[in-house]
Structure formats: structure tokens, C-alpha cells
Amino acid sequence: LTEEEVYEGICKTLVEKLGMKFAWIAGIDEAKNQLNIKYKFGDDKGIFDIYDFKISSTDTLTYKAISKGEIIINQDSAEYAKKISCAEELVKRGFMSSCTIPILKNGKVESLLKIYSSIPRYFNDSVIEILKEIQHDISFALEKIEMIRENLILSESLKNSETWILITDSSGRITYVNEAVEIISGYKREELIGENPRIFKSGLNPPEFYKEMWETILSGKVFRAITPNRKKSGEIFHADLKIIPIKLPGGELNFVAVAEDVTEKMKLSDRVQKLQNYDALTGLLNMNGFSANVSQ
């Protein structure tokens, strides 16, 4: 479901099912201080030919709806025309009452829903209550769509990242791994989900290492270390590891392990270190290495 589909569905429903004359939804362009039509349905009677899409005037229903974040009603266009001359155009087109509904997303007015009726004073208390429900439902739908979109972007980013991403629940069971975990460890995703990260245990870390790790993450702090791990093949790889505790609603802790395979970097570092003290061609001590040994 997209925002456009939500807008289309609500405008059509208002006209076809609830007997409204015309309905449209516009987004708010704050930079230009104007409305941009997203969707419309019904007979507009040419209203857009004379409609001012600017929202700067403090006298308009549009401005009041945006600034207050409340539903604003024009109960009788004929009466309203006595105050605002442009409302005469509503009367000419048979739009005898209207309603302006601000649509909020994450607490901010995101767009406006405009509804027109051919009946004066159509928007009584019972109708307004229904419109409030519609307002709430649209806002909920837009927030849900945004959340789904963000989750999809995040999910795809994590999935295709070259960085090791592994998530466990509070009991240490693996609930998520990205492709990098599969590539680095040699395990398939289905082999890891539900398992404990000790499946990667190399046996090279002392017991104090794990004691410090659990004390750190259970206290809500991030744990960092470069640690040896074992692949499915038995090969050892070194991971620059960060474990991030995440507290979920209700207080449950999940743990996100972010790591980089630094095995080759460590080998290169050892090689550079060795070249500082040994001749690359002969493998014998060079002057630096000789001097260091003499000093010892």
C-alpha cells in the first residue's frame, strides 16, 4: 500500500459511499508556502480554476486547519461568503458546506483533506465524529507506510552490507544474520537461526573474556574487542567485534553484533612488523632486528 493508494481510497469512499460532492487531498510545500494536489475525486465544478493554493492568509480555512491541527468546518457557504468574498465561488458551484481536515504524520500536519457537500450545515456533530475517525485512520496509515518503507530500506541495507550483522534475543538465540555472516563464517542462515553464537567459539579466548563481555552488555553498555572465531570449516578468523545491547519495549534486551573480518589486516600487520626486523630476501635479522636482539 502506498500513500497515493490511501488518498485515492479515502476520496472515492467519501464521494461514492458517503455522498460528498467532491473531495481532494493536498500535500503541504512549506518552502513555497502552498498546497500541492495529491489526489481528487468527484465533480470539481472548475473550482481549481480560481482556487488560491497559497496558505499564507490567516483568514482562510486552510490556514486555520494547518496552524491549529484541527478540523475546520464551513457550515454554510452562503454565510461564509459574507465574510470571505472568494466563498461566493463555492455557492456558484453548489458547494454549500465544506470541511478541511489536517492529516498528521508523526505529530506534524502532513497534508490536507478537503470535502464539499451540496447540503448546507451537512457537517453536524455526528458527521464530525466520523471525520475525526477518518482523520485518525489516515494518519495511522501514513505512519505505518513510512515505517514499512524505512524498515524495508534498513533491511535491504543490512542484508547487503559487507559488515557482519548478527542479532540475538535476551537468551542468546540468534534471530537474524545478514549475508556477510554467511560469507565469513561459511554457515547458511538456516543453520544459524535459533543457535547460540558460541557456534563460532574458537576456544582461544580465556573465561575472563566472556565474563567481561556479559557483564558489559547486561549493564547496557557496548562491548568491543578483537576476538578469534571459528568458521564452519574449522578455520580461525579474527573479528573486530562490537556488541550493542538494545532495550525493547517491556525491558527485554536484544543484542546486535557488528563485526569486521580483520584476519588479513592482522596478517599484514604481522608481516610489516616482521619486515621491520628481518630482511625480506634472506629472512635474516636486519640492522633493526640485530640491534634489538643485542639490546635484549
- Per-residue pLDDT tens over the stretch 35-89: 899 999 999 999 888 777 777 665 678 888 988 899 999 999 999 888 888 889 8
The side-by-side arrangement of strands in the sheet containing 236-247 is: 174-177, 164-168, 253-261, 236-247, 223-230
pLDDT of residue 272: 56
Lowest mean pLDDT among 92-101, 151-160, 236-245: 151-160
Q: 36, 29 in Cβ contact below 8 A?
A: yes
pLDDT of residue 57: 65
* pTM of model > 0.75: no
- Per-residue pLDDT tens over the stretch 96-138: 999 999 999 888 998 999 999 999 999 999 999 999 999 999 9
User: What's 113's DSSP letter?
Assistant: E
- 266 burial type by CB count under 10 A (0-12 exposed, 13-18 middle, 19+ buried): middle
Pick the closest to residue 102 from 149, 135, 137 (CA basis). 135
CA distance linking residue 34 with residue 26, whole number of Å? 9
pLDDT of residue 271: 66
CB atoms within 10 A of CB 202: 15
